[in-house]
Structure 1
């Protein structure tokens, strides 16, 4: 812009905000995180940077930046000279992390029942019915996204920032396993029953009841995941024999 324009009182154009790069970064992180959650990228799988770049339509720089974020979240392992691979939790890690999450979810429910607003409850109801619709269509991905949104809304409604930060960090490590826990139809339907009971407890503002339901809900998921893992390990061992 010329000095004469400024002197004439014209407003100089704003500097271009550095939004696009951050948006790309967040989008890449979210896409890869979803690939991991939905099992497109399985635990232990070595990541092929070239293939990921082609799939996402990006260069290696934003991909590597995204992998660093996911490594910090515990979803990716990066080893010098060996590249990146999807993290694989041991049986003990699965058991202990689900136990921790069961406590976090229970505490969230106890506080949320007391502190949740009417608007938040209405939003959770809408998510609940959308989740049920996905179940009738056998849309596991759609079901899971709404399911997790419900749990997240309950945690947010607890209005406890320390709990919130811990919940987010722990839940990121469990999302892929929580998704897998619904692979068996009886387990999926059992989880829906739990959500029906959660909604009733929320409507009644019964924090103790909601806390109990959420704790057992997560422990049931733990047991379902460990059962699946046990079968897969047995099948792998049989193939090697």
Structure 2
């Protein structure tokens, strides 16, 4: 009989990577800022090896930019970066929405409706709205079940959190976003694939306008 070795606990560098992710998303480490490795090692009580492994992980995710002989910096998104990310999200998620409209079970549509109903109660709670909004979009992708699409969108959404001008920061945008979600849900419930795709594209186009300074 072959004995299976016990699973190893999550590697230290993965724990460090998650800690840094949360510091980046919480703006404790601002976009464009230099990452002081010695200071972080002292704060976390670790050597530089797991920290550097963690930084490599975050660099692959796009959250950190490594500069030759200058060290690691929190990635700062340019206006072009934001525009291109929104355009890709619009393409990927609108196609997914069309497929969900055509193929999702009644139970799966009910799950999306439940998330939407949470949004309806959170329009005055920005952080909660952010979290539920992301869960809604990611659940839509899970239902569609194209793992490559899920991976790309998850990476894009992670990097989008670096945007200083997040679309939902703009005054009045939460209410507008909620109205757009309402229309998207209605299209999904009607099994109207064409309308669902169009409404998701418009949702991202409006998000881009709100996220781009001067527009």
TM-score by length of 1: 0.76
Aligned residues of 1:45 and 1:86 also touching (Cα < 8 A) = yes
The aligned counterpart of 1:171 is 157
Mean Cα deviation higher: 156-165 or 183-192:
156-165
> Within 2, Cα distance between the matches of 1:55 and 1:125?
43
Equivalent of 1:88, from 71, 76, 79?
76
SS at match of 2:72: strand
Select which of 106, 110, 121 maps to 2:94. 106
Q: 2:202 aligns with which of 211, 216, 222?
A: 216
CA contact (8 A) 1:46 1:85 kept: yes
Count of aligned residue pairs for this structure pair: 215
Please name the residue that 1:20 is paired with: 10
Partner of 1:238: none
Tell me the distance in 2 between the aligned counterparts of 1:186 and 1:54: 42
Secondary structure of residue in 2 paired with 1:135:
coil
| Alpha-carbon distance in 1 for matches of 2:37, 2:182 | 42
* Alignment gaps of 5+ in structure 2: none
Alpha-carbon RMSD = 2.8
| Residue in structure 2 matched with residue 150 of structure 1 by the alignment | 136
Which has the larger helix fraction?
1
Q: State the TM-score, normalized to the length of structure 2.
A: 0.84
**Distance in 2 of aligned mates of 1:143 and 1:91:** 24
- The 8 Å contact of residues 165 and 212 in structure 2, kept in 1 or not, is answered as no
Q: Aligned partners of 2:70, 2:169: CA distance in 1, in Å?
A: 32
Which of 184, 203, 210 is matched with 1:198 structurally?
184
